[in-house]
Amino acid sequence: MRRIILSTESGADLPKDLVEKHQIQVVPMHVIMDGKDYLDGELPVEDVFDYHSRTKKIPSTTATNTHEYHELFTKIRTNFPESIIIHIGYTSKASASFQSALIAAEDFENLFLIDTLNVTGGLAAVVLYAANLMEEEPSIDHNQLIEKIESIVPKTKLAFIPGSLDFLKSGGRVSNMAYIGGSLLKIKPCIELKEGKLVSTRKYRGKMSIVAEKLMQDYLNQYDIDRKQLYLIYSIGLDESIKRQVDEIAKETGFENVTWMQAGAMISTHAGPGGFGIAGVEN
């Protein structure tokens, strides 16, 4: 049986131990600061926050380019000549990355691409669903695997709250009036993926400890998430007491496994320090 290899982008924020366990091939996206190009996954997140503190600007981010995908797919095919590659990609609605992968894929046979219409923990949820399925069913045919992956894409739900309106303001994502009002009233927007696009769906007021719990409650009331697995995402700066708080909620609501994921440099340029998110797959 031909070996199936999974690949994705660094914007999935996959924990390194799970990347190694499942031998997932990860290609980096990019963060630009002071005119220099840094690879997401190699750039310390603290450098992003330090840059903002120093300049009051956020870095820019760029997609993985066609050449990088070509190199990735070539490397996989060199190391595993008879492999079937399934690339599970970052939403095409918020980045040119998936389009670059499509172009690079034209030069390869037995290479399949799936647009998850998701990012960070939502993208990771799809990738790890595929990886776990391959582990549970070692003889699964790649066509069956692809069909099952595609079936959960619309069922994968991600919601997150940026840790800092400063990052939204610096990136031009909110008006000055909204920024000032939000800061004074301690209002925090909830961002969700709707048909692959980042959309502000609701607003919360108060400290992150209150807001994180309210997000958990609303998310679990809105979506019938499979209790086998929940993914919780944080950006550096989220208080440990909040992590313990939402961990307890997850246990109380019947989740068998909870995986914490740290937002990398690329995602953190949008979330800011102290952000919190939740992802899972609906039944």
What pLDDT digit, counting tens, does each position of 241-271 carry? 999 999 999 999 999 999 999 999 999 998 8
The per-residue pLDDT of the chain, averaged, comes to 91
What is residue 187's predicted lDDT score, i.e. its pLDDT? 79
**pLDDT-derived band of residue 174, with 50, 70 and 90 as boundaries?**
very low
4-32+61-151 belongs to which homologous superfamily? Dihydroxyacetone kinase; domain 1 (3.40.50.10440)
What pLDDT digit, counting tens, does each position of 114-166 carry? 999 999 999 999 999 999 999 999 999 999 999 999 999 999 999 999 887 67
Range 192-201 average pLDDT: 88
What is residue 58's predicted lDDT score, i.e. its pLDDT? 87
What pLDDT digit, counting tens, does each position of 34-47 carry? 999 999 999 999 99
Unique residue bearing structure tokens 């670059």:
100
Unique residue bearing structure tokens 């070539």:
74
Range 69-92 average pLDDT: 96
What is residue 164's predicted lDDT score, i.e. its pLDDT? 76
**pLDDT-derived band of residue 184, with 50, 70 and 90 as boundaries?**
very low
What is residue 170's predicted lDDT score, i.e. its pLDDT? 55
Range 228-233 average pLDDT: 98
DSSP line for 85-113: EEEEE--TTS-SHHHHHHHHHTT-SSEEE
For the record, the structure tokens of 60 come out as 């820019």
Report how far residue 159's alpha carbon sits from residue 232's, in angstroms, rounded to the nearest whole number. Answer: 10
**pLDDT-derived band of residue 168, with 50, 70 and 90 as boundaries?**
low
**pLDDT-derived band of residue 206, with 50, 70 and 90 as boundaries?**
confident
What is residue 132's predicted lDDT score, i.e. its pLDDT? 97
Res 178 pLDDT > 70:
no
Domain boundaries of the chain, sorted by first residue? 4-32+61-151, 156-281
What is residue 250's predicted lDDT score, i.e. its pLDDT? 97
Does CATH number 1.20.120.160 belong to domain 156-281?
Answer: no
Q: What percent of the chain has pLDDT over 90?
A: 79
Contacts of 89 (CB under 8 A, 6+ apart): 8, 9, 97, 98, 101, 113, 114, 115, 116, 123
